[in-house]
């Protein structure tokens, strides 16, 4: 670990930097960031962050900064930071898996043709297939966050709490994004008389 002057930072100096940050000198935190960035990126890569390593480390440093108030005096900063980096890497990997899984399920749900009973009216079946195609196209025009929340909540039939857990969002965020997503979807979908839904936003 090196200071701006090139000297090594010892545990006592780290403690002094942390004390300065806690005392309100937020810019002092940059010394810890400079000292530990290389190690943090190597750890993130080693635990599987790949090309997301820099983003993971940035989030980890931010979380560490927010948690400095609970950092135990006399403890070593590096192992504590590494735990945060590893947890953030795991969270990122889980989010990536959830996203790939959701995208795959969304595609399967939208592409799969429903079983239509032999007695069904062919005209009704054709209209239903057309509606599904229109829905697929409209969903594709939503932002990723709106597409995901609508898919989880309605296409995957998850309740609000499950949707929040699956996406890693607070329930309030799920509600607001779902509301906005459904409004946008409504504007993108044609009305029953065949005209556009009025995409005015």
Co-location of 121 and 180 in the same domain: yes
Co-location of 38 and 90 in the same domain: yes
Burial 141-172 (b: 16+ CB within 10 A, else e): ebeeebbbbbbbbebeebeeeebbebbebeee
Cα–Cα distance, 177 to 150 (Å, whole number): 9
Cα–Cα distance, 78 to 32 (Å, whole number): 9
Co-location of 16 and 78 in the same domain: yes
Choose one of 67, 94, 121: the last residue of a domain: 94
Co-location of 137 and 88 in the same domain: no
E strand or H helix at 12: helix 11-22
Q: Tens digit of pLDDT for each residue in 142-192?
A: 888 897 788 767 765 667 886 786 667 899 999 999 999 999 988 888 765
Q: What domain range includes position 84?
A: 11-94
Co-location of 29 and 86 in the same domain: yes
Q: Tens digit of pLDDT for each residue in 4-48?
A: 444 445 544 889 999 999 999 999 999 999 999 988 887 787 677
Establish if 101 belongs to a structural domain: no
Count: domains in the chain: 2
């Amino acid at each position: 670990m090196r200071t701006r002057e090139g000297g090594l930072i010892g545990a006592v100096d780290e403690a002094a930097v942390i004390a300065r940050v806690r005392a309100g000198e937020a810019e002092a935190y940059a010394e810890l960031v400079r000292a530990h960035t290389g190690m943090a990126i190597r750890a993130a890569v080693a635990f599987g962050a790949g090309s997301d390593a820099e983003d993971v480390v940035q989030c980890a440093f931010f979380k560490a900064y927010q948690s400095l108030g609970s950092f135990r005096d006399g403890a070593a900063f590096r192992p504590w930071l590494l735990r945060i980096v590893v947890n953030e890497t795991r969270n990122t990997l889980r989010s990536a898996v959830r996203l790939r899984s959701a995208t795959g399920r969304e595609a399967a749900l939208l592409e799969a043709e429903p079983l239509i009973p032999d007695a069904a009216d062919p005209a009704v079946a054709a209209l239903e297939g057309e509606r599904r195609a229109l829905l697929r196209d409209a969903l594709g025009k939503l932002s990723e966050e709106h597409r995901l929340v609508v898919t989880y909540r309605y296409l995957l039939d998850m309740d609000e709490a499950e949707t929040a857990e699956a996406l890693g969002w607070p329930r309030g965020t799920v509600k607001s994004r779902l509301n906005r997503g459904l409004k946008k979807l409504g504007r993108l979908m044609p009305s029953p008389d065949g005209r556009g839904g009025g995409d005015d936003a």
